[in-house]
Amino acid sequence: MRLIEGPVSPSAISEIVVRGGTNTDTGAHSLFLGQVRKDQIEGKSVKAIEYSAYEEMVIMEANKIHKSVMSEFNDVKSIEILHSKGLVKAGEISLVVMVSSGHREQAVKACAKLVELIKEKLPIWKKEIFEDDSGMWKQE
């Protein structure tokens, strides 16, 4: 798990995919990309999200999530997680999860489970920034 300042760049995403290809035991990769959505709230549109994190605890909790998913899905070979901190504009990527496994079924299931656990367990917060530069903390 890595926290990245600003959006996750296309080159960071392709690096993960290329690295996944070096493990020849793997037959499937499941890749999830989370993107900042230009929501409309009370007539104003979201232009960006400002992410903040309790970084030490994020890394600790991510390690726990990593271990629990690896032990639940025995065909999974590797897990990569990138999450943004700081400002990410609408249309940019703020979360990447890639799970590589021997066969497709566990890659897809483990990836979906990781995305849910990331939202539930990692101490990360987001403030939606509107076009007029006002902001609102998002409660999920």
Residue 94 in contact with other proteins, rule: CB under 8 A: yes
The pair phi, psi for residue 30, each rounded to 5°, is -115, 125
**Binding string, 49-88, against other proteins, x = CB under 8 A?**
--xxxx-xx--x----------------------x-----
Our CB check for other proteins shows the closer of 54 and 103 to be 54
Q: Inter-axis angle of helices 104-121 and 55-72, to 10 degrees?
A: 150
136 sits in the region (left: phi over 0; alpha: psi -120 to 50; else beta) called: beta
Relative to beta strand 2-5, strand 76-89 is: parallel
Binding other proteins by CB under 8 A: which of 4, 28, 76, 95?
95
**Binding string, 7-46, against other proteins, x = CB under 8 A?**
---------------------------x------------
